[in-house]
Amino acid sequence: MAKDIIRIKDIAERAGVSVGTVDRVLHNRPNVSQKALEKVSKALEEMDYQPNMYASALAYNKSYTFYLIIPKHESEAYWDEIEQGAHAATERRRDFGITLKLLYYERFNPPSFVRTANECLKENPDGVIMVPGKLDVTTRFASQLQETNVPFILLDSYLPDLKPLSFYGQDSFQSGYFAARMLMLIASKEKEIMIMKQLKNGHIGSKQQSNRETGFRHYMHDHFPDIAITEFNLPLDEKREKYDHLLEEFFTTHPQVHHCITFNSKAHLVGDFLLRTNRRNVQIMGYDMVPKNEECVKQGSISFLIAQHAYRQGFSCVESLFEAVVLKKEVNPVNYMPIELLTKENVAFYRRTYNG
């Protein structure tokens, strides 16, 4: 009978109570005697009754507002696909009264994160998805959410000590380790490799990027300790002329460098320079399937891209909040994204969208 549709009438007959009593039990309403509750509970167990949580959620006719807090970004960036996925999931669940609001903070500006977090708290959110900022301000915000029983999901960087409802992103250490292994398939004979970074006041953009570099260096230390690793900082938010000058100077003074890597989504800054200066003997490896990176892969200046399904991450974060907040279901606490390698031969077949 478990596979058939179980009606309230069927449960009432099995329990020997009225239909009204069963309805009160199913919806946790008062005025049910202990004896009747026990009879109905036994009948539900025997019949393997599974409530229709979707129908119940619709019946309550409530509305829910989720907040997505991410860094400010340029168009066509990694974060853009996060937003697209989150909006798609929201649209999918619009019949349940789900609304998504986006808030932005400046990545290297802790006070900006604090202001954005406070703005979110004032709106009494039903759930929050956030890309962590600096650890201390993110921890404070997480504590405030926990104090008010607001579930939150971490995106991009995993901080288990904050005890989020869930996390979506790559295992960043393994991702960096994998990146090194793949790069060494084509660079094992090199004497020097460049790591392109984008720092501000000496700080890297995220814990995720730092963990990727750690994984990369672990592999290199274990398998290719004689290859020199040279760091190169390409400042944030500069004009192309500035980048051209710095890159020209670097490659002129480091003629042995034929392979580079970056752990952010800006490999195209180097890739575009290599194409314009016709340096066909140099390539860079990077992250994220954004259009500018894709074009450089197709033209050969980016050797490999590691994709992490940004669209899918945004989609899944909203879906998990929906399941936890609206349907009252348990969700997976840790959700690692695939570590996928894209090259000139397969980049055109990469599937950005995801429908759950």
pLDDT band, very low/low/confident/very high, at 53 (cuts 50, 70, 90): low
CB burial of residue 193 (10 Å; 0-12, 13-18, 19+): buried
Per-residue pLDDT band at 22 (split at 50, 70, 90): confident
pLDDT digits (tens, 9 = 90+) for 134-186: 999 999 999 999 999 999 999 988 999 999 999 999 999 999 999 999 999 99
Work out the percent of the chain whose per-residue pLDDT is above 70.
Answer: 93
Q: How many other β-carbons are positioned within 10 Å of the β-carbon of residue 258?
A: 19
pLDDT band for 1, please (50, 70, 90 cuts): very low
pLDDT at 81 > cutoff 70: yes
Residue 2 has pLDDT above 80, yes or no: no
Angle at 286 between CA 228 and CA 134, to 5 degrees: 90
C-alpha to C-alpha distance for 25 and 87, rounded to whole angstroms: 36
The pLDDT value recorded for residue 60 is 66
Average pLDDT of the chain, as a whole number: 90
Phi then psi for residue 130, to 5 deg, are -140, 145
Average pLDDT over residues 118-132: 97
Q: How far is residue 289's CA from residue 330's CA, in Å, rounded to a whole number?
A: 31
Are the C-beta atoms of residues 314 and 102 closer than 8 Å to each other? no
Percent of the chain scoring above 90 in pLDDT: 69
Provide the terminal-to-terminal Cα distance of the chain, rounded to the nearest Å: 29
Model pLDDT, residue 110: 93
The pTM of the full predicted model, rounded to 2 decimals, is: 0.81
Confidence of residue 290 (pLDDT cuts 50, 70, 90): confident
pLDDT of res. 236: 83
What is the per-residue pLDDT for 356? 57
For the segment 111-121, the average pLDDT, to the nearest whole number, is: 97
Q: Which of 4-13, 246-255, 284-293, 301-310 has the lowest mean pLDDT?
A: 4-13
Q: Is the pLDDT of residue 211 over 50?
A: yes
List the beta bridge partners of residue 258: none
Q: What sign has the CA pseudo-torsion 283, 284, 287, 289? A: negative
pLDDT beyond 70 at 51: no
